[in-house]
Amino acid sequence: MFLLQVTIVLLLVVAAVVALLVESRSDRFAAARDRSLAAAEAFAHSPGLVATMQGPDPSAVLQPLTEAARKDANVDFIVVTDRNGIRYTHPEPEQIGKKFVGTIGPSLHGLVTVEQVHGPLGLEYQVVVPVEDGHGGVVGIVSAGMKVANVSSAIDRQLPVVLGAGTLALGLATAGTALVGRRLLRQTHGLGPEEMTRMYDHHDAVLHAVREGVAIVGGDGRVLLANDEARRLLDLPEDAEGRAVTDLGLDPRTTELLLSDSAVTDEVLPVGDRLLAVNNRPTDSGGGPPGSVTTLRDSTELRVLAGKAEVARGRLSLLYDASMAIGTTLDVRRTAEELAELASREFCDYATVDLAEEVLVGEEPRTLTVGTPVELQRVAVAGIREDSPLYRPGELVTWAGSTPHAAGFVSGHSALVPDVETDAGWRRQDAERTQAVLDFGLVSMIAVPLTARGVLMGVACFWRGRDRVRFEEDELSLAEELAARAAVSIDNARRFTREHTMAVTLQHSLLPRALPEQSALDVAYRYLPAQAGVGGDWFDVIPLPGARVALVVGDVVGHGMHAAATMGRLRTAVQNFSTLDLPPDELLGHLDELVAHLDQEAAAAGGELAITGATCLYAIYDPSTATCALARAGHPPPALVHPDGTVELLGLPAGPPLGLGGMPFEAVELRLPPGSSLILYTDGLVEDRTRDIGAGLDLLTGVLSGSERSPEELCDAVLDALLPARQSDDIALLAARTRVLEPDRTAEWAVESAPEAVARVRAEATRQLAAWGLDEAGFVTELVLSELVTNAIRYGTEPVTVRLLYDRTLICEVSDSSSTAPHLRYAVEDDEGGRGLFLVARLTERWGVRYTPAGKIIWAEQFL
> How far lies 227's CA from each of 102, 169, 293, in Å?
75, 50, 12
> How far lies 107's CA from each of 38, 49, 58, 83, 516, in Å?
16, 16, 20, 9, 53
In DSSP terms, which residues pair with 746 in a beta bridge? 805
Distance of alpha carbon 571 from the chain centroid: 24
**Residue 189 has what pLDDT?**
58
Higher pLDDT, 417 or 200: 417
Dihedral class, residue 103 (left if φ above 0, else alpha if ψ from -120 to 50, else beta):
beta
Edge-to-edge strand ranges of the sheet holding 677-681: 521-528, 731-738, 677-681, 639-641, 647-649
Q: Which residues contact residue 145 at a Cβ distance below 8 angstroms, ignoring those fewer than 6 apart? A: 32, 36, 75, 76, 77, 119, 124, 125, 126, 127
Count CA atoms closer than 13 A to 327's CA, side-chain side. 20
Q: Please give the single-letter amino acid code of residue 779.
A: F
As a whole number of angstroms, the distance between CA 195 and CA 811 comes to 112
pLDDT digits (tens, 9 = 90+) for 458-505: 999 999 998 888 888 888 988 999 999 999 999 998 988 888 777 777
Q: Please give the single-letter amino acid code of residue 24.
A: S
Least confident of 284-293, 659-668, 802-811: 284-293
Higher pLDDT, 269 or 306: 269
Picking from 699, 736, 737, the residue whose alpha carbon sits closest to that of residue 718 is 699
DSSP secondary structure string, 194-258?
Answer: HHHHHHHHHHHHHHHHSSSEEEEEETTSBEEEE-HHHHHHHT--TT-TTSBGGGS---HHHHHHH
Distance of alpha carbon 652 from the chain centroid: 32
Q: What is the mean pLDDT of residues 427-453?
A: 87
Query: Do 218 and 226 meet the contact criterion of CB atoms below 8 Å apart?
Result: no
pLDDT band at 304 (very low <50, low <70, confident <90, very high): low
pLDDT band at 544 (very low <50, low <70, confident <90, very high): very high
pLDDT digits (tens, 9 = 90+) for 342-357: 999 888 999 999 999 9
**What are the φ and ψ backbone dihedral angles of 43, each rounded to 5 degrees?**
-70, -35
As a whole number of angstroms, the distance between CA 204 and CA 206 comes to 5
pLDDT digits (tens, 9 = 90+) for 12-30: 667 666 665 656 666 667 7
Strand 731-738 and strand 677-681: pairing? antiparallel
Higher pLDDT, 429 or 446: 446
**Residue 235 has what pLDDT?**
81
CB atoms within 10 A of CB 801: 19
> How far lies 584's CA from each of 32, 386, 651, 739, in Å?
50, 63, 16, 20
Picking from 62, 40, 41, the residue whose alpha carbon sits closest to that of residue 51 is 62
**Residue 204 has what pLDDT?**
66
Distance of alpha carbon 714 from the chain centroid: 32
As a whole number of angstroms, the distance between CA 734 and CA 638 comes to 10
Picking from 721, 720, 734, the residue whose alpha carbon sits closest to that of residue 538 is 734
pLDDT at 647 over 60: yes
Compute the CA torsion angle 42, 47, 50, 53 (nearest 10 deg): -80
As a whole number of angstroms, the distance between CA 110 and CA 136 comes to 8
In DSSP terms, which residues pair with 221 in a beta bridge? none
pLDDT at 44 over 60: yes
Least confident of 91-100, 527-536, 603-612, 748-757: 603-612
pLDDT at 526 over 80: yes
DSSP secondary structure string, 67-129?
Answer: HHHHHHHT-SEEEEE-TT-BBS--SSGGGTTSBP-S--TGGGGT--EEEEEEETTEEEEEEEE
| Straight-line distance from the first to the last Cα atom of the chain, in angstroms, rounded to the nearest whole number | 111
Query: Do 343 and 319 meet the contact criterion of CB atoms below 8 Å apart?
Result: no
Length of the chain: 864
Annotate 16-32 with b (16+ C-beta within 10 A) or e (fewer).
bbeebeeebeeebeebb
* 3-state secondary structure (DSSP) of residue 550: strand
Higher pLDDT, 330 or 449: 449
Q: What is the mean pLDDT of residues 546-569?
A: 86
pLDDT digits (tens, 9 = 90+) for 679-723: 999 988 888 777 888 888 989 999 998 878 899 999 999 999 888
As a whole number of angstroms, the distance between CA 120 and CA 711 comes to 46
**Residue 220 has what pLDDT?**
86
Cα dihedral across residues 365, 369, 370, 375: positive or negative: negative
Is residue 731 within a helix (H) or strand (E), and if so which, with residue range?
strand 731-738
As a whole number of angstroms, the distance between CA 651 and CA 642 comes to 15
**Residue 280 has what pLDDT?**
85
pLDDT at 274 over 80: no
Edge-to-edge strand ranges of the sheet holding 855-863: 746-751, 800-806, 809-816, 855-863, 846-852
Q: What is the mean pLDDT of residues 762-780?
A: 88
**Residue 356 has what pLDDT?**
92
Query: Do 550 and 620 meet the contact criterion of CB atoms below 8 Å apart?
Result: yes
Q: Which residues contact residue 403 at a Cβ distance below 8 angstroms, ignoring those fewer than 6 apart? A: 425, 426, 428, 429
pLDDT band at 190 (very low <50, low <70, confident <90, very high): low
Cα dihedral across residues 656, 657, 662, 665: positive or negative: positive
Axis-axis angle for helices 2-44, 155-187 (nearest 10): 170
**Residue 550 has what pLDDT?**
95
Q: Which residues contact residue 306 at a Cβ distance below 8 angstroms, ignoring those fewer than 6 apart? A: none
As a whole number of angstroms, the distance between CA 42 and CA 36 comes to 10
Compute the CA torsion angle 247, 251, 253, 256 (nearest 10 deg): 0
As a whole number of angstroms, the distance between CA 67 and CA 81 comes to 14
Q: What is the mean pLDDT of residues 637-656?
A: 91
Higher pLDDT, 393 or 35: 393
pLDDT band at 618 (very low <50, low <70, confident <90, very high): very high
Q: Which residues contact residue 89 at a Cβ distance below 8 angstroms, ignoring those fewer than 6 apart? A: 59, 62, 63, 65, 66, 67, 78, 79, 80, 96
pLDDT at 832 over 60: no
As a whole number of angstroms, the distance between CA 554 and CA 536 comes to 8
Picking from 714, 615, 720, 604, the residue whose alpha carbon sits closest to that of residue 658 is 615
Picking from 851, 850, 859, the residue whose alpha carbon sits closest to that of residue 802 is 859
Q: What is the mean pLDDT of residues 763-777?
A: 89
Indicate the average pLDDT of the chain: 83
Axis-axis angle for helices 299-325, 332-346 (nearest 10): 160
pLDDT digits (tens, 9 = 90+) for 353-386: 999 999 998 888 887 777 778 889 999 999 988 8
Percentage, residues of the chain above pLDDT 70: 87
pLDDT digits (tens, 9 = 90+) for 131-178: 888 787 888 898 888 876 666 555 566 667 666 776 776 777 677 777
pLDDT at 830 over 60: no
Q: Which residues contact residue 456 at a Cβ distance below 8 angstroms, ignoring those fewer than 6 apart? A: 356, 365, 409, 410, 412, 449, 450
**Residue 330 has what pLDDT?**
85
**Residue 293 has what pLDDT?**
86
Q: Please give the single-letter amino acid code of residue 77.
A: F
As a whole number of angstroms, the distance between CA 522 and CA 504 comes to 27
Q: What is the mean pLDDT of residues 48-66?
A: 84
Picking from 159, 130, 151, the residue whose alpha carbon sits closest to that of residue 44 is 130
pLDDT at 640 over 90: yes
DSSP 665: -
Cα dihedral across residues 533, 536, 539, 542: positive or negative: positive
